[in-house]
Structure 1
């Protein structure tokens, strides 16, 4: 629930869509810098962290400048923080093209080069480049806060689900292209990517993985909510149970979905997110041969006496 108001935040597509579209585009500007980092499985190192104020890039270590970019959605601005200084760019009352110009001019003051590409990716019907997108946007603080609230709530659940996994898993974060919040578990099992995908998505399918995440609704599918899938997709998913009332397999999309409103009706949404993720991983174990021993016990780290290491070090008295 919303920690401040004690209510489940409503995600009305018509209200949120303009702000989602704008933020998706402007986060891609800074997101392009992450592509200069060494490739990690599934592009896991390019995700944006959900912070107390918005979305932040990982630390970007250039040849001359080390910096990060913080999209402070609750403040309506973008902060570029570098070893050479700090600058701020406003998000209010501007187009993607004007934001791009302002961002690049401001970054240059800190010794940061322009992004190596300006293509807008993974947004259907979008202009081709940042410079081509002249649609004027009015900043909506209420919509921006609702977006952050949703990401913040789901991040807590996904981080709890991900914590006991012993295999390779990038941090939970927002993929700035497709704009979904994801938690992914990788397995060292080479796979054949689908040939009909663009090259960057084929690179994301080089090994098997399980992904659980959250996405806002779109024009064709306006309902926000959790999603999950297993790559490569095994047979038998249509007969599985998904741990939470309202979660269901959608064969046309190749996704398990849990609508946002259904998640909000559960007794404990955080526990429901964990249960949803566990059900998806159980399906991967049962149908796709994933190892069950890659998941350790789920323990609250504060209580050291309950952790596995402490239990081994100090066995119970007989």
Structure 2
């Protein structure tokens, strides 16, 4: 077995106020690409079919069926281009640079035409207010390549830790995935029980969308590029009685009554002696609060995420 020498993880510093205009522009671009995936894929539990994955280059859609072919699209935050590839061997790119959403949307239409791809989407954003139609959006036009690269590097580190957290659960769990509607990276655990009908209320988003998203009892955690350097969050739906009064784990974690969820500043993780352990503490503590108060079957659902450690570190590869 070939093993690489582990490198020290670097949790980058990126102040939100230094790139908020770029963040908002990128959010709108991601909604356009996300809607292509929405249009091309069948509905999977809680909209998991529409999300992006953190990749070795940026954010990727994975395979989208289109007219008997497969299309994948990737935001490449190394070379700063949108890369489109189809299963018939065709390939195209769009530069990621300072440009309006309207300009990005128009060029994407031309590129899809050259690839002989026709996909109809609802051409305005969701979960934001105001929701400017893509073809009319000249408000958002910023792109700071260095900031976007740092944001992606934040996601790279968070992805690693979220994947380890996901490995500690044997029940139904979402992938670690990036939602373009809310522009956050998230992972969600489920008890296996139905949840009460969600009240909806997300801006410019039909209530039935949230009803599907929260159709089962869950405990979710994620990261959103808001606050000072970004914010980790954790919540439960429905929130059991006493949930907000429970401890949230590491120093800096607390209940935010306005958001209705636990929050932990990214910088509290980044500056801690062991960022991975600090973040896992937050994830595990907030999950345990939700699961214990709601009487989840934790002996059935919880597992040791290190259960393969002995096999993965053995020299006897036949054990694998």
The TM-score with structure 2 as length reference comes to: 0.87
Which structure 2 residue ranges, 5 or more long, are not aligned?
1-5, 202-206
Asked if 2 retains the 8 angstrom alpha-carbon contact of 1:76 and 1:139, the reply is: no
Asked if 1 retains the 8 angstrom alpha-carbon contact of 2:25 and 2:142, the reply is: no
**Aligned residue number for residue 46 of structure 2:** 42
**Aligned residue number for residue 194 of structure 2:** 190
C-alpha change, 1:294 and 1:6, in structure 2 (3 Å) is closer
**Aligned residue number for residue 20 of structure 1:** 23
**Aligned residue number for residue 34 of structure 2:** 31
Asked if 1:207 is matched to 2:207, the reply is no
CA distance in 1, matches of 2:10, 2:199: 44
1:279 to 279, 282, 285: 285
2:258 to 245, 249, 252: 252
Asked if 1:240 is matched to 2:249, the reply is no
Residue 213 of structure 1: CA displacement? 0.5
C-alpha change, 1:196 and 1:177, in structure 2 (3 Å) is closer
The DSSP-based 3-state class of the residue aligned with 2:19 is helix
**Aligned residue number for residue 134 of structure 1:** 138
Describe the superposition over 1:44-99 as per-residue Cα deviations: whole angstroms up to 9, x where unpaired.
23221111221000211123221110011222210001113110011213211111
Residue 302 of structure 1: CA displacement? 5.8
Asked if 2 retains the 8 angstrom alpha-carbon contact of 1:65 and 1:111, the reply is: no
**Aligned residue number for residue 120 of structure 1:** 125
Asked if 2 retains the 8 angstrom alpha-carbon contact of 1:249 and 1:257, the reply is: yes
**Aligned residue number for residue 107 of structure 2:** 102
Which structure 1 residue ranges, 5 or more long, are not aligned?
308-312, 314-318
Q: Which residues of 2 match residues 152-171 of structure 1 at below 5 A?
A: 152-171=156-175
1:146 to 150, 153, 157: 150
Asked if 2 retains the 8 angstrom alpha-carbon contact of 1:54 and 1:74, the reply is: yes
Residue 165 of structure 1: CA displacement? 1.2
Asked if 2 retains the 8 angstrom alpha-carbon contact of 1:183 and 1:211, the reply is: yes
**Aligned residue number for residue 268 of structure 1:** 274
Q: Which residues of 2 match residues 171-186 of structure 1 at below 5 A?
A: 171-186=175-190
CA distance in 1, matches of 2:248, 2:18: 30
Asked if 2 retains the 8 angstrom alpha-carbon contact of 1:53 and 1:74, the reply is: yes
C-alpha change, 1:208 and 1:285, in structure 2 (3 Å) is same
C-alpha change, 1:300 and 1:132, in structure 2 (3 Å) is farther
The DSSP-based 3-state class of the residue aligned with 1:27 is helix
2:76 to 72, 75, 78: 72
Asked if 1 retains the 8 angstrom alpha-carbon contact of 2:64 and 2:71, the reply is: yes
More displaced stretch, 254-263 vs 55-64: 55-64
Residue 10 of structure 1: CA displacement? 2.0
2:303 to 296, 299, 304: 296
Asked if 1 retains the 8 angstrom alpha-carbon contact of 2:80 and 2:96, the reply is: yes
Asked if 2 retains the 8 angstrom alpha-carbon contact of 1:213 and 1:227, the reply is: yes
**Aligned residue number for residue 316 of structure 1:** none
Kindly tell me the number of residue pairs found equivalent between the two proteins.
303
C-alpha change, 1:6 and 1:302, in structure 2 (3 Å) is closer
The DSSP-based 3-state class of the residue aligned with 1:35 is helix
Describe the superposition over 1:106-145 as per-residue Cα deviations: whole angstroms up to 9, x where unpaired.
1122222134221211123341x11110236243111111
Describe the superposition over 1:267-315 as per-residue Cα deviations: whole angstroms up to 9, x where unpaired.
21112222211112211221112121211111174641789xxxxx9xx
Asked if 1 retains the 8 angstrom alpha-carbon contact of 2:101 and 2:138, the reply is: yes
Q: How well do the aligned residues superpose, as a CA RMSD in angstroms?
A: 2.4
